[in-house]
Amino acid sequence: MAQRVRIGQVQDFPAGSLREVEVAGTKLVVARDEEGLCAARNRCPHLGLSLTSGPGGSHYADGVVQCPWHNSRFVLRTGENLDWASGIAGRSAPRWSQRVLSAGRRPAPLTTYAVVVEGDEVFVEL
Ligand code: FES
């Protein structure tokens, strides 16, 4: 059975920004898209690095987060991978080097979590 944990209030998660929260030792990234709030594990499936801090900076727009390390892109709400290790720190890399950047890892989705809003309170279900 899922564990429901309070992570803040609705106003703590403004539109267009990513926010990292830690729940029971797991770092999550929370954002608002056009459907509301959504959450995923703050761990890129490429090399396990943070989606919110890295050399390329934090990028989130139209419900899509871009990893600040090697530019993989994901739909935050569903975890779907849209682009896999296509560059470094926000800069594109030539196609031949993208195979090197992928480090032999196949595209994979983010781990996502259900977000529940009750009044002004926000919870995630782990
Ligand atoms: S760690 Fe995210 S794309 Fe490499």
Q: Say which amino acid occupies 84.
A: W
| Ligand 1 pocket member 69 (CB < 6 A) | yes
Is 21 in a helix, a strand, or coil?
A: strand
Ligand 1 atom at shortest distance from the alpha carbon of 47: 1
Ligand 1 centroid vs 89 CA: distance in angstroms? 9
What's the domain count of the chain?
1
Going by C-alpha positions, the residue among 3, 77, 66 that lies closest to residue 38 is 77
Question: How would you write the pLDDT of the chain (126 residues) with one tens digit per residue?
Answer: 789 999 999 999 999 889 999 998 999 999 999 999 999 999 999 999 999 999 999 999 999 999 999 999 999 999 999 999 999 999 998 888 888 888 889 999 999 999 999 999 999 999
Question: What pLDDT score does 125 carry?
Answer: 95
Ligand 1 atom at shortest distance from the alpha carbon of 48: 1
Structural domain including 70 reads 4-125
Q: CATH code at 84? A: 2.102.10.10
Cα–Cα distance for residue pair 65/22, rounded to 1 Å: 18
**Cβ(39)–Cβ(28) under 8 Å?**
yes
Question: What pLDDT score does 1 carry?
Answer: 74
| Ligand 1 pocket member 67 (CB < 6 A) | yes
Residue of 41, 43, 46 best suited for mutating to test ligand 1, as the one with most atoms within 8 Å of CB:
46
